Amino acid sequence: MNAENRGNHQFSDADLQHLRRCVELAAEALDAGDEPFGSVLAAADGIALAEDRNRVSGGDQTRHPEFELARWAATNMSPEHRATATVYTSGEHCPMCSAAHAWVGLGRIVYVASTEQLTAWLDEMGVPAGPVRPLPVNDIAPGITVEGPVPELTDRIHALHRRFHTGE
Ligand SMILES: [Zn+2]
């Protein structure tokens, strides 16, 4: 984790608008019985192009929104547009999604909560570790610009994960 990732970054109003939408999508996922994660893909001009939320409750644990958005970008965007796009997300990309993001040549990532934060929350709740090591994006894809966490929204994401795992 470099200094830019420590939460003292200033986020623009446009960034925060997309990040708030990610939180809404995470809440929608939770209401549908899925894990509380949501993501928005925005073009260089700030216009949202696509969004998705976690959809793993059907049994396919690869149905992460960041993975869906990477595949959407590969199908629908030129390499030039992908490189200047930003993916906003409620939680930092997992290794699978980091790899997909990098392989399709997408640009910046901005997340509300870091993998480090999520891992600490899950530990506190006694949730067993998953089958994939919880590495930060830049350990998987060193060339991607990554910004976060976003302190003003992190508590809301923490609350959604608490509700998912403990029902509180
Ligand atoms: Zn993922």
Instruction: Please report the pLDDT score of residue 168 as a whole number.
Output: 84
pLDDT (0 to 100) of residue 8 = 52
97 CA → ligand 1 middle, Å: 4
Tokens linked to 5: 């990732």
Distance 11 CA to ligand 1 centre (A): 23
Rounded to the nearest whole angstrom, what is the distance from the C-alpha of residue 55 to the centroid of ligand 1? 11
- How far away, in angstroms, is 100 Cα from ligand 1 center? 9
Distance from the alpha carbon of residue 145 to the mean position of ligand 1, in angstroms: 17
Model confidence, pTM: 0.94
3-state secondary structure at position 16: helix
Q: Which CA distances in Å does 105 have to 79, 108, 151?
A: 7, 10, 28
pLDDT in tens, 71-122: 999 999 999 999 999 999 999 999 999 999 999 999 999 999 999 999 999 9
